Amino acid sequence: MMILLPNSTDGARASGTGAEPLEWEERSLCVERIIPVIYYSVLLGLGLPVNILTAVALSRLAARTKKSSYWYLLALTASDILTQVIIVFMGFLLQMAILAHDVPHAFLHAVNVLEFAANHASIWVTVLLTADRYVALCHPLRYRLLSYPARTRKIIAAVFGTALATGIPFYWWLDIWHDSQPPTTVDKVLKWVHCFTMYFIPCSIFLATNSVVVCKLKWGKRVDGHRRRVGKTIATLMAVTAVFTVLWAPRTFVILFHLYTGTTNKDRRLHVALNLANMIAMLNTTVNFFFYCFVSKTFRRTAGEVIRSCSPFCTRQGQPPANRGCLHSALKPLRLLENVSL
């Protein structure tokens, strides 16, 4: 998610009708500055360690099981880490709270490129994961032939490279916070491209693939036990994509609303709405860990191995860092990533 930040307090406080009431000024300062700083500090302090733990656990599972789907989840987690570091730390806390806007404009535009690149990587790796599950559940024979770790890693590398390339045009992204003029044609094009590539197209793919899978499972002839296992897999995948759709909806609406209302620095309420929409969207970078823990005992056990291996209490007195009996169970994939039996 691209955090759109005020680059100047003067521009943010400007008003075409004069000074705003002091009461609203104080409330707006609290909502625009104090609450976001606290929120993003907590989000970064809790979300970054959780995502690092998730990345280490998934890397172990990917190395042990040699399953392509684990590589997609690992890439998704890596993109979430990049999003938190680039957007939350560099784009918000460093610029707003630490440097207090005293940064060159070239640096701001360069950070824009990195922010959009991280966003594109995160979203489209999720699309790849959805497509991977669709092929695995609906075309298992073809999936066995097409999906293997070496090809998956090449696809992921191509997605990250493409994400960086598609982030370059957003160097000219017009800062909504500091927009004292109506959007130009270039700015309108960039905002529409952003909304389509980050929300409308991915959500359409999620809806189409999930609908096809549900219909196939509903009318297909399958054993009851297998149907229950696959049903839980699809339910979890639909929950992941539904959470993304819900969390990103407010921000997409605010950006489109801005295109039709012109400037935002004359309406502090729109500033507050954009702040809240950004905070809601950023939750998408932290929720996956809890989905994995809720669905899979294997992931919980592997994450426990990682925690115990890093704990001094587990290596004291010659104790092994993890339970040896967990190794065989850890070879079982996450239920979310379960392949269809032939």
From start to end of the chain, where are the E strands? none
| Dist CA 78 CA 84 (whole Å) | 10
Task: Identify residue 92 by its one-letter amino acid code.
Answer: F
pLDDT score, position 248: 92
pLDDT score, position 237: 76
List, as one string, the DSSP characters of 82-116.
HHIIIIIIIIIIIIIIISTT-S-HHHHHHHHHHHH
pLDDT score, position 15: 42
Kindly give the confidence (pLDDT) of every residue in the chain, 342 residues in length, as a single tens digit, with 9 standing for 90 and above.
444 444 433 443 344 444 444 444 445 555 566 788 888 889 999 999 999 999 999 999 888 887 888 899 899 999 999 999 988 888 777 776 666 556 677 777 888 899 899 999 999 998 998 888 888 888 888 888 888 888 899 999 999 999 999 999 988 887 665 555 667 788 888 889 999 999 999 999 999 988 888 787 776 555 444 555 555 667 667 878 888 999 999 999 988 887 777 655 566 777 788 888 988 999 988 888 888 888 777 888 888 889 888 866 555 544 554 444 444 444 444 554 454 443
> What is the gyration radius of the CA atoms in the chain, in angstroms?
22
Which pTM value belongs to this model?
0.78
pLDDT score, position 8: 39
Three-state secondary structure call for residue 342: coil
Residues 6+ apart with CB under 8 A from 243: 284, 287
Helix (H) or strand (E) holding 118: helix 105-138
User: For residue 6, which of 23, 28, 24 has the smallest C-alpha distance?
Assistant: 28
pLDDT score, position 5: 45
Handedness of CA 123, 124, 125, 129 (dihedral sign): positive
User: For residue 125, which of 92, 162, 98, 96 has the smallest C-alpha distance?
Assistant: 162
